[in-house]
């Protein structure tokens, strides 16, 4: 059948094309994973000298790398929580209330999203140095909150677009005050948007190099540590840590996905 052949050909082409794209996306990652098992000890750690778990052991004694990773996690967690709270409140507030300067606020919101990160990074650096805030954890967290908040707001806002105002009125009609209504009605309905925004904020925060690079002071984050090590060749224990992180996130994704699937099935 001619028509069926054509369809089969399309099918093969589609699979091949997507396969190539996935290969492109995963190739460097496979390099990282493989090199984390590379027994070589000579810089720049490129040639293959056999399989070893040594780097995973070595990793535990590399305190500066581990503490940088710890910093990254602390910064990501704290800024995600702050950005999610500030962003959710802001999105709901901007949706519900009219106030002066709303238009300006709205435009300000787009700046961290569209402007090159380096511009945001250097502008934060100049202002922090001008008002003499010591650069470190505090400035890192403030900066991360700044570029994460708009993403939370957009995600929550997308959810608010389909939001039925009357459910809040119904809640108040049934005797709940504003605060109870917010926690009992508004928040649960917006939860998927908030969750999506928080996840995005977390992802952006742990991966951020450019902005952190300008506002970190002496504090090192994991990406900055990587940046430092690139000059001399990334040592395999960095690869080992990256591999652990990668596997951790994949496990997390698989768990949440299968949980979601289960929930869907139950429904």
Partner 1 sequence: MGNIVEIEGVNKIYGTNHVVKDLNLTVEEGEFLTLLGSSGCGKTTTLRMIAGFEEPTTGSIKVEGESIEEKEPFERNVNTVFQSYALFPHKTIYDNIAYGLKMKKVPKNEIKERVTEMMSLVQLEGFEKRYPSQLSGGQKQRVAIARALINRPRVLLLDEPLGALDLKLRKQMQLELKRLQKKLNITFIYVTHDQEEALTMSDRIAIMHDGVLDQLGTPTEIYESPATKFVATFIGETNIFDGTVSFVQDDQVQVMIENGFISGKGTNFKFGEYMTVSVRPEKMKYSDAPVDGFGITAVVKDYVYVGSVIKCIVSLPNGNELKIERLAGQKLPEIGSHIYPYWNIEDAVLIHSKENSIFEALDSIVLA
Partner 2 sequence: MEKKHSSHQFRSNTLPALVMVGPVALLLVLLVAVPLVYVAVMSFCTTDEYYNVVFKFSLANYGKLLSPDYIKIYGQSILIAFITTLLCILIAYPFSYIIARTKSKRKQLFYMLVIIPFWTNSLIRVYGWRTFLGTNGWLNNALQALHITTEPLDFLYNQGTTVLGMVYCLIPFMILPLYTAIEKLDGSLLEASSDLGAKPVKTFFEVILPLTASGIFSGSIMVFIPCLGYFFVSNILGGGNSDVIGNLIERQFKSGNNWPLGAALSIILILVTLLLVKIYKKLGGDMDSLGV
- Kindly identify the residues of this chain, within the stretch 1-60, that bind partner 1 according to CB under 8 A: 1-4
Residues 106-125 that bind partner 2 (CB under 8 A): 108-120, 122-125
Q: Which does 130 bind (CB under 5 to 8 A by kind): partner 2, partner 1, none?
A: partner 2
| Dihedral sign for Cα atoms in the order 206, 207, 210, 213 | positive
- Considering the rule CB under 8 A, would residue 99 count as an interface residue with partner 2? yes
Would you give the binding string for partner 2 spanning residues 25-64, x where CB under 8 A is met?
A: xxxxx-xx--x----------xx-----------------
Interaction of residue 104 with partner 1, rule CB under 8 A = no
Output 2 or 98, the one with its CB closest to partner 1.
Answer: 2
Pairwise CA distance, residues 31 & 124, whole Å: 35
Site for partner 2, residues 240 to 259, rule: CB under 8 A? 242, 245-246, 249-250, 253, 257
Residue closer to partner 1, measured from CB, 4 or 264: 4
Question: In this complex, which beta carbon is closest to partner 2, that of residue 16 or of residue 170?
Answer: 16
155 counts as binding partner 2 under rule CB under 8 A: yes
Q: Are 148 and 161 spatial neighbours (Cβ–Cβ below 8 Å)?
A: no
Please report, as residue ranges, which positions from 160 to 189 form the binding site for partner 2 (by CB under 8 A): 178
Given candidates 153, 190, 194, 240, which one binds partner 2 under the rule CB under 8 A? 153
Report, in Å, the least distance between residue 10 CB and partner 1: 12
Task: Rule CB under 8 A: choose which of 207, 258, 259, 262 binds partner 2.
Answer: 207
Question: Phi and psi (nearest 5°) for 38?
Answer: -80, 130
CB of residue 116 vs partner 2: minimum separation in angstroms?
Answer: 3
Kindly list the residues in this chain that would bind partner 1 in the complex (CB under 8 A).
Answer: 1-4
């Amino acid at each position: 059948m001619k028509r069926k052949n054509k369809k089969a050909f399309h099918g093969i082409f589609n699979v091949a094309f997507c396969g190539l794209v996935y290969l492109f996306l995963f190739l460097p990652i496979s390099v990282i994973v493989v090199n984390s098992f590379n027994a070589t000890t000579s810089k720049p750690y490129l040639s293959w000298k056999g399989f070893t778990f040594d780097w995973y052991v070595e990793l535990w004694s590399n305190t500066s790398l581990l503490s940088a990773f710890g910093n990254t996690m602390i910064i990501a967690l704290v800024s995600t929580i702050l950005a999610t709270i500030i962003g959710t409140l802001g999105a709901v507030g901007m949706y519900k209330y009219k106030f002066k300067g709303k238009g300006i606020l709205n435009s300000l919101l787009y700046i961290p999203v569209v402007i090159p990160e380096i511009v945001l990074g250097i502008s934060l650096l100049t202002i922090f140095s001008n008002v003499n805030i010591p650069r470190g954890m505090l400035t890192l967290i403030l900066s991360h909150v700044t570029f994460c908040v708009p993403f939370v707001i957009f995600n929550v806002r997308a959810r608010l677009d389909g939001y039925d105002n009357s459910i809040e009125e119904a809640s108040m009609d049934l005797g709940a005050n504003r605060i109870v209504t917010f926690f009992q009605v508004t928040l649960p309905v917006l939860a998927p948007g908030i969750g999506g925004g928080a996840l995005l904020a977390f992802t952006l925060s742990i991966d951020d190099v450019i902005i952190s690079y300008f506002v970190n002071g002496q504090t090192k984050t994991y990406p900055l540590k990587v940046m430092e090590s690139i000059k001399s060749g990334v040592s395999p224990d960095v690869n080992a840590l990256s591999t652990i992180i990668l596997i951790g996130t994949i496990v997390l994704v698989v768990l949440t996905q299968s949980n979601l699937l289960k929930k869907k099935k139950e429904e």
